[in-house]
A and B are shown apart, each in its own frame.
Chain A
Amino acid sequence: QQPVQSPQAVILREGEDAVINCSSSKALYSVHWYRQKHGEAPVFLMILLKGGEQKGHEKISASFNEKKQQSSLYLTASQLSYSGTYFCGQTGGGTSYGKLTFGQGTILTVHP
């Protein structure tokens, strides 16, 4: 079942903060975050694993509440380059190879 993202769209001015949420109805093993710009490939942002481990290589942060089956992505001091569509993807406990089920996406627009 597809995770649900909120909000569907966010408009910011440079320097403002935003939070994107991702909720699931099933038990999660991991949550992944990707950003996709129009016409381009989705780009990895972060993985949050059950048990608290996080892996990412951008200046962003995220949380993973296993009990509530929710994850949030925190974008602080936004830059123009942050604009794009953000997708969360989930893997369940029974998945042995990282098959991701993605949410419908959150469109983030950052204006000067």
Chain B
Amino acid sequence: GAGVSQSPRYKVAKRGQDVALRCDPISGHVSLFWYQQALGQGPEFLTYFQNEAQLDKSGLPSDRFFAERPEGSVSTLKIQRTQQEDSAVYLCASSVFRDRGNGELFFGEGSRLTVL
């Protein structure tokens, strides 16, 4: 497809389970971001990749969160031992730009995680 694709769209997990969320960015996009969006709030930055390099993971809320992009295209966000406070929509965005703040971000529709 032409846009950013995320899967699964919906995930229900029991507290303590591990989950993996996948992002397939637009082909050729160098930059990839993960954001977390709680209900009624703006997206909050989690982590950033430039190609396969994770250049910023300052937004990851705990060491239970892990992201990778091993070949510089598809990325996976993994959450271990999920907690109820992890319930949110996880948005992936990609951009052709690598520098400064002058690039449009293309967002996926997100993966809605509900932890019971």
Chain A residues within CB distance 8 Å of chain B: 2, 29-30, 32, 34, 39-44, 47, 49, 53, 55, 87, 89, 91, 95-105
Contact B56 A104 (CB under 8 A): no
Interface size class of B (residues with CB under 8 A): 20 to 34
Chain B residues within CB distance 8 Å of chain A: 3-4, 31, 33, 40-45, 48, 50, 55-56, 91, 95, 97-110
Contact A104 B42 (CB under 8 A): yes
Chain B: CB-nearest residue to A103? B42
- Report chain A residues within 8 Å CB of B100: 29-30, 91, 95-98
Contact A30 B101 (CB under 8 A): yes
- Report chain B residues within 8 Å CB of A29: 100-101
Q: How far is the CA of A2 from the CA of B4 in the complex (A)?
A: 26
Contact B31 A42 (CB under 8 A): no
Q: How far is the CA of A17 from the CA of B20 in the complex (A)?
A: 43
Q: Given A97-B55, A98-B97, do A30 and B107 touch, yes or no (CB 8 Å)?
A: no
Contact A91 B101 (CB under 8 A): yes
Contact B41 A42 (CB under 8 A): no
Q: Given A40, A43, A87, A96, which contacts B43 in the complex, CB threshold below 8 Å?
A: A87
Contact A43 B50 (CB under 8 A): no
